[in-house]
Structure 1
Amino acid sequence: MITDPISLLKFEHAILRVRFQMIKECLNIELGWNMLENTHYFIVNWHAKIEDKYVFPVLEKMGINVKPLSNDHLLIEKYGNSVLKEKRRDWAERYIRIVIDHNLNEEKIFPKEIEEHDILKDIIADMRNFSGYFEFTGLSEYDLYYSE
């Protein structure tokens, strides 16, 4: 059960690692590139936005420097767009390493949890409006819990 924003982000990181493993195995066919495009869309339009909008401001208030991680989001977006345009396997493999390393660096600075449950409530509201979220992650709304 997901009870706070940090556990949600860590869950999404795990989903990305699994998807990237499958993508690496399929880059020699169009399916792999379609999966990479779908995953990049999720990262740029959901995952990074949620971190920047909800989680990073709280971490900054805790004295944690998140600026490099937020800057990484821009790099990941631009590099990922180039990878998808050029469809170079070596670039795709580097992109995957960049995202995985970025996520691991985030997890090193994440606190155990953020106890501001209103944040999770707001994230869930956004989640309902992000087309394909539940299909991409395999989560259902029953997996999410926040106290009023």
Structure 2
Amino acid sequence: MITDPISLLKFEHAVLRVRFQVIKDCLSSETGWEMLRTTHYFIVNWHAKIEDKYVFPVLEKMGINVKPLSNDHLLIEKYGGSVLKERRRDWAERYIRIVIDHNLNEEKIFPNQLGREILKDIINDMKKFEGYSEFTGLSEYDLYIE
């Protein structure tokens, strides 16, 4: 059961690591490229937006410079789009490494927890994001709010 936003984001990071391993193994087929497309869509249209909207402002208030992480989100969006357009395996592998390294850097500076009130807001956004449960295996009922 997920009880706070940081645990949720770390869970999503773990889902991405697993998906990326499968994607690397499947890039010689259309299945791998389709998985990369849906993973990139999830990163750009959900995961990075939630971090930018809810987590990074809190980190800034704690005196942490989040600009490099926000810039990484832009790089990941643009580079991932190019990877999908060009369908180059070497670029895809580099993209995967960039995202994984970025997520590991985030986890180094994430606080142990953020307020549960933020989790409520994330859950409201989650209900509007089509395909969240299918992508992560989580539903709003897997998240605990007092």
* TM-superposed deviation, 1:63: 1.1
RMSD of equivalent CA atoms: 0.6
| Cα distance in structure 1, aligned partners of 2:117 and 2:112 | 17
Correspondence 1:118 to 2:117: yes
| Cα distance in structure 2, aligned partners of 1:63 and 1:146 | 27
| Cα distance in structure 1, aligned partners of 2:54 and 2:60 | 11
Identity %: 84
Gaps of 5+ in 2: none
Counterpart of 2:8, as a letter, is L
Counterpart of 1:145, as a letter, is Y
Superposition TM-score, scaled by structure 1 size: 0.97
Aligned to 2:95, what secondary structure does the other structure show? helix
Counterpart for residue 138 of structure 1: 137
Per-residue CA distance 1:61-114 (angstroms, 9 max, x = gap): 111111100110000000000000000000000000000000000000001111
Number of positions where the alignment pairs a residue of Structure 1 with one of Structure 2:
146
Per-residue CA distance 1:115-135 (angstroms, 9 max, x = gap): x21110000000010000001
Counterpart for residue 63 of structure 1: 63
Superposition TM-score, scaled by structure 2 size: 0.98
Counterpart for residue 24 of structure 1: 24
